[in-house]
């Protein structure tokens, strides 16, 4: 049996920029091991699989795989999957709803979709969980993992900390744009530090964006390095977690951040993040655009 797929570049309006995503449509019949093999074949940071919802009141059950594991939630797969599904509806002559609800392992992901004369014009998600904070990491160990000096780590706002709004990351603030540019994952440093409270990846960011003068303004520049020693061009779940952490430290009110990622690897991305402290925790979300790049069919791998 063959399955349709569509690829989209997410958090960008330019093909071959942003974060690529493969969306396998109507994926019922595929076993977990088959999904993992397909995700490994695409070798993108994530591949999503669209299944019928368990609750008919929801839009779909969405499973998300990296090349080496299934994850309970991720940002760019939700934005990209919503954009692809809305585009499928529009192409079929049906109006796309302005709200989707995806069932995922981390919980329900609520998504708003803006459409217009040019099709899907923007997607915004609310993370399925409020901010949770776990261990802080030693500065020296974090610096080693990123091939930096301890002086490059900025602890004036927060120490390097494990945080999550549905997917766990070690979030680290750096002192300068130059430090962010120099950062790179170190195999031995990662092995000595991670996993930490479930975090397998490091999201590094800086508020030093003055060095990017001449480009569209941003509040944050970020990079994310996985435990596979790869870099992710745009990480919605980590961006939302970072924004939630900064909102929690700031106190009341809505925090909105323009976040650029992927610039140093040639896949510039723009993520529009927000977070708000409420009585039941700090809730965060992220918005962006996506552009369709490829589509086709693939054969199902042999079942295990």
Cβ–Cβ under 8 Å, residues 144 and 192: yes
DSSP 8-state symbol, 152: G
Report cis status (omega within 30 of 0) of the bond before 148: no
**In angstroms, rounded to a whole number, what is the distance separating the alpha carbons of residues 112 and 117?**
17
Global confidence as pTM: 0.96
Cβ–Cβ under 8 Å, residues 110 and 101: yes
β 60-65/99-104 pair status:
parallel
Q: What is the CATH number assigned to the segment(s) 132-283?
A: 3.10.310.10
Cβ–Cβ under 8 Å, residues 244 and 167: no
Going through the chain in order, the beta strands assigned E by DSSP cover 2-10, 19-24, 47-51, 60-65, 70-71, 99-104, 107-116, 119-126, 132-136, 161-164, 168-173, 202-206, 220-225, 231-232, 254-261, 269-278, 281-288, 290-299
Region(s) of the chain under CATH 3.10.310.10: 2-128+289-299, 132-283
Measured distance between the N- and C-terminal CA atoms of the chain, rounded to whole angstroms = 16
Among 14, 41, 46, 295, the active-site one is 46
**Burial of residue 297, with CB atoms counted within 10 A of its CB: 0-12 exposed, 13-18 middle, 19 or more buried:** exposed
Please indicate whether residue 46 is annotated as part of the active site.
yes
Q: Per-residue pLDDT for the chain (304 aa), expressed as one digit of tens each?
A: 899 999 999 999 999 999 999 999 999 999 999 999 999 999 999 999 999 999 999 999 999 999 999 999 999 999 999 999 999 999 999 988 999 999 999 999 999 999 988 889 999 999 999 999 999 999 999 999 999 999 999 999 999 999 999 999 999 999 999 999 999 999 999 999 999 999 999 999 999 998 675 567 899 999 999 999 999 999 999 999 999 999 999 987 899 999 999 999 999 999 999 999 999 999 999 999 999 999 999 999 987 6
The domain 2-128+289-299 belongs to what CATH superfamily?
Diaminopimelate Epimerase; Chain A, domain 1 (3.10.310.10)
């Amino acid at each position: 049996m063959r399955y349709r797929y569509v690829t989209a570049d997410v958090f960008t309006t330019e093909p071959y920029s942003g974060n690529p995503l493969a969306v396998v449509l109507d994926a019922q019949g595929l076993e977990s091991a088959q999904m993992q093999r397909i995700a490994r074949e695409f070798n993108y940071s994530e591949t999503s699989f669209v299944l019928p919802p368990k609750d008919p009141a929801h839009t779909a059950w969405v499973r998300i795989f990296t090349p080496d594991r299934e994850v309970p939630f991720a940002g760019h797969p939700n934005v990209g999957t919503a954009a692809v599904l809305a585009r499928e509806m529009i192409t079929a002559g049906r109006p796309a709803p302005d709200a989707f609800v995806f069932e995922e392992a981390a919980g329900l992901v609520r998504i708003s979709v803006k459409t217009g004369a040019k099709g899907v014009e923007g997607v915004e998600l609310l993370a399925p969980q409020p901010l949770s904070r776990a261990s802080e990491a030693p500065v020296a160990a974090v610096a080693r993992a990123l091939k930096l000096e301890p002086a490059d780590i900025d602890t004036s706002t927060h120490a390097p900390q494990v945080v999550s709004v549905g997917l766990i990351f070690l979030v680290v603030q750096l002192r300068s744009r130059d430090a962010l540019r120099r950062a790179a994952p170190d195999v031995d440093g990662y092995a000595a530090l991670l996993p930490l409270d479930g975090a397998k990846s490091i999201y590094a960011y800086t508020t030093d964006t003055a060095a990017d003068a001449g480009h569209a303004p941003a509040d944050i520049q970020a990079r994310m390095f996985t435990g596979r020693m790869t870099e992710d061009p745009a990480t919605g779940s980590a961006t939302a977690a970072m924004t939630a952490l900064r909102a929690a430290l700031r106190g009341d009110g809505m925090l909105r951040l323009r976040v650029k990622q992927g610039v140093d690897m040639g896949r510039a991305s723009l993520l529009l993040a927000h977070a708000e402290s409420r009585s039941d925790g700090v809730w965060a979300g992220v918005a962006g655009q996506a552009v369709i790049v490829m589509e086709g069919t693939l054969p199902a791998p042999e079942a295990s």
